[in-house]
Each structure stands twice: as structure tokens, then as C-alpha cells.
Amino acid sequence: MRIVENETEVLDAIHSARREAISSFGNDKLLMERYLRQPRHVEVQVFADNHGNCIYLSDRDCSIQRRHQKVVEEAPAPGLSDELRVKMGEAAVAAAKAIDYQGAGTVEFLLDTDNSFYFMEMNTRLQVEHPVTELVTGQDLVKWQLMVASGHPLPLAQDEVRIHGHSFEVRIYAEDPQNEFLPASGKLNFLREPEQSRFVRIDSGIRENDVISNFYDPMISKLIVWDESRPRALQRLVHSLESYQISGLKHNIEFLANIAEHQAFRDANFSTDFIDRYGDGLIGRGLSGSAIKDEQTALALAALYQVCARKVAAKACAINSNDPYSPWGTVSGFRLNSASQHQVSLLDDNHELQHLELIETSVGGKSIFQMQQGDNLYVLNGELHGELLHAEISLSQADKNRDPLTDKNQAHKFKVPVSQVDDDFTLFINSSSYHFRAIQTELTEEQECLADKLKAPMNGTVVTHLVNAGDTVTAGQGLMVMEAMKMEYTIESPFDGIVSAFFFDIGELVSDGAVLVDVEPAKKEEG
């Protein structure tokens, strides 16, 4: 789908949509239709048998979307009057009866701000979001399908349908919200799902160490929650997202938590442009209500984890050695006539190298660490128990005239799950995940520069070249188009220069991180 605001955009939109349609469906025929600026996406679940019976089973709101793909669904749709629900339900049933439909189906509408609604399409199947309808109706819709297919009548009449409570579903995707939601692929190194109950349901087909490839839709699983009311169900959703932990690839869990915590969403004040309108605030950290929201604080915890991990490893080595009490088998940061110091180098999420120093002091037999970052002074202590870091941390302003160990600042206690594979590790703090790489040796300047815009940002296929080898290009000019999972991405030149060569032809598969094109920077004029 493409939105066209003026006639100068028409041809570009047609060409782009046709390329995507041919790639995804083998058919480039297009439809042009009226654009509603701030509608809601409300759909109705219908069911029909071969005995002439047809009913509707609640409605669903699927307005929270990005690129016309649903992200959050809920049932029943909030804020609809009883009269409007009946009108939409009856319209959906009329549409199904008009084609003598049988089985499960979904009639989708666009609901305008004046409560007028427009038929969009009918999905002649059971949809991804059907669990929210199951939870508010108490009905097994897959069982209904089998009954209807076997020739049995529907188990309920319209006046027997009951709606109880409220339900949300979110789609856990392998994608990078901070990089235009580009699909992600890779290995699920670590997977911990929320505990399932009558309030929490997870529909998934993946396990830890499975690989998410670029050949299929990037949805990892569906998280569905239910409770007696919308606010209580929303609270269940937030808590479940905080308990959902994935590492090894980019995902949208923090993004979903930020949506659930957003005041406009809590107030059910939204339309299909919700993510476009509030996108910047939804992608950033810090909306999950945690006492620890700061990336600098996560960095401090990462440094503490590294020191704790070193101590655990040293202790294990000492126990297995001929002299378990040897001072050479300890990691105390000991220095003669000086405070004990620990040096930690980490590469963070933004590919920035962080050199950290922790000063260790013993207080009452317990190791206390101080770490200064700018004007902030962190006082930390903790222990590592398997995959869980038990930590206590307080933050104050650095002040040479004050002893941080006796400062009365409030300390926060955590149990932080940690996933580590080789030198890469992830800290899970509420619904946020913080990825780091422990650097054992100094990096060269060239190695530190990891953000190369001429590399493939994902696994995918080359769609087209926008320029030719030998062409002169300017910074920001499109060089080529890639496609993955029904989405196009333009590779742009990071600087002025001349295109030396393309390394992949149109139609070729490309791996994430592969160098796609070589651009020779323009020489600066002297004088």
C-alpha cells in the first residue's frame, strides 16, 4: 500500500507497489481507493454453517499497525456503543450471507471518526488474532471449524453469544524498531517466555537455539492476555512483556511495552496512524515505569556483571587447580598501596566503545564498587547466580567532599537475567534488553567504526540498482533497493563520491552485513 498526497508522487508509488506485489504475490495489478486520514481498524468475527445459520462473535480493534501490519489486537473494540456494535455485526453477517459463506471468516471495516464505517475486505479464514475472540467468548473457534466442516450446525445462536472480560494480543517480531523495523534474522540464543495460565496464553512454534531465517514472516510468537476489564488486562500485558526475554537477534518487545504504557493507548484514544504519530517516543527506552530507565545505569550493571563473571570464573579455576588458595587465582583488582581497580571495555548497542573503571572497596566483608560516568557516581555491589545477577545500585552526583559509601541515597535492588554467548551478553531489565560485547583487547579505529551504510542491513534480495557503476552520487542519494519479508529498503550513499562497483546483481540473495556497493569518496578541493 502507498499513500499518495499529490500527483507528482503517483508514478513512483505505482512502480514501488508493483515491484513489491510481483515479488510477494506474482501479480502487479493495483487498486486505487479513497484514503481516510484517522480511521480505526475494527473487524468482526463471523461463523456460518451449511444449515443457513450465520452469527458474529464479538468485534476486535486492530488499529495499532505499522506498514499496515497489525501489531496489537484487542477484543472487544473499546469505546463502541452497543448500537454501533450491533450495526457492524449485522453488516458483517449480511456480507457473509451474500456469498453463501460457510466456516470462520473475518469482515474488516474502517471506522471513521463520525462512527460511519466502510467495508474493507473479508478474510475467508481464521486469523492470527482469533485468540482474543476465543478468550472473551469462551469458545474454541478451531473446534467450531471442525464441527462445521463435518456438517454440524453452529453450537450457539446469536442471542446465546456472551462477551466476558477483555483480551489483548501482541505479535512478537524479529525486527529492529530502531532501524525502521527492518526484519531481523539469526539464532535465538536465549528464550524465556512468561508463565502461562488462564490469564496468559502464548502461541508459538519456536524454541531456544532455533534460527529465525529471512525466508518467512518475522513473527516469532503471539502473546495473548485476558482479564475481567480492559485496565486489568492491560496490566497483565505489561507484566507479561517484562517477563518475555529474547537475545541473539533484534526484537520488538520493548516497543510493545512502550505502546502498552502510552497514555493515549491506555485511554483507547488511537487510530491507524498511532505508531506514525507517536513513533519516536515508542521506540525510545524509559516508558515501562521502571526505577532504572537510564542506559548509563544499564552500562553500570553491565560492568558489574563483567567483574562478577570474572570472579566466578577465577573461583572455578582455583577450585580445579593444585592450589585453590593461591593469590594468583583471584580477581580482586589488588594494587599495592592503591585502591583495587577493575578495567572493563564494552561495546554497547550503539557500537560505541566504553572504557570503564570500577574501584573496589571492602565494607563489612562485602565488595563495594564505585564507578564514575561523567557527573554521575554509581555505587554497586552484587553476586552472580547462574543466569541471574543479584545487584544493588545507588546513584549520586560525584562530589570529592562526600563519601559515597556513607551517602544516604536510596539504593535499588535488582534480579537481572543475563544471557551470554561467547563475548556477547544481554541484560534484561523489565521489558528492555541491553546488548553488550566484552572487549578483551583494544580495538583499532577501523574496528570501532562498525556502522557501514554500504552493508546489507538484513538478509534479503536485491530488487534494483538505482544508479550505474561510474555514476557520480551525492550523500543521501539512493544507490539500490533491497527487499525482505515483503518490505523494501533503499541503500543510500553516506557521502558524495563515485560508484566504483556493485557486488550483487538484481535478484541475488544477500546476507546481513555483506558489502553491497563500493563508493569512492569525492576528493576535497584544496585551497
Q: Using omega within 30 degrees of 0 as the cis cutoff, is the peptide bond preceding 457 cis?
A: no
Buried b / exposed e over 260-299, threshold 16 CB at 10 Å, is bbbeebeeeebbbebbeebeeebbebebbebebbeeebbb
Instruction: Classify 373 as helix, strand or coil.
Output: strand
Helix H or strand E encompassing 146: helix 141-149
- Asked if 219 and 183 touch (Cβ cutoff 8 Å), the reply is no
- Asked if 245 and 433 touch (Cβ cutoff 8 Å), the reply is yes
Burial class of residue 16 in the structure, from the number of CB atoms within 10 Å of its CB (0-12 exposed, 13-18 middle, 19+ buried): middle
Q: Which of 37, 67, 125, 266 is catalytic?
A: 125
125 is catalytic: yes
- Asked if 222 and 204 touch (Cβ cutoff 8 Å), the reply is yes
User: Distance between CA atoms of 138 and 320, rounded to whole angstroms?
Assistant: 57
Backbone Cα Rg of the chain? 28
Single-letter amino acid, residue 387: E
User: Distance between CA atoms of 272 and 81, rounded to whole angstroms?
Assistant: 20
Instruction: Classify 125 as helix, strand or coil.
Output: coil
Cell triple for 70: 497489525
Q: Which residues are catalytic?
A: 125
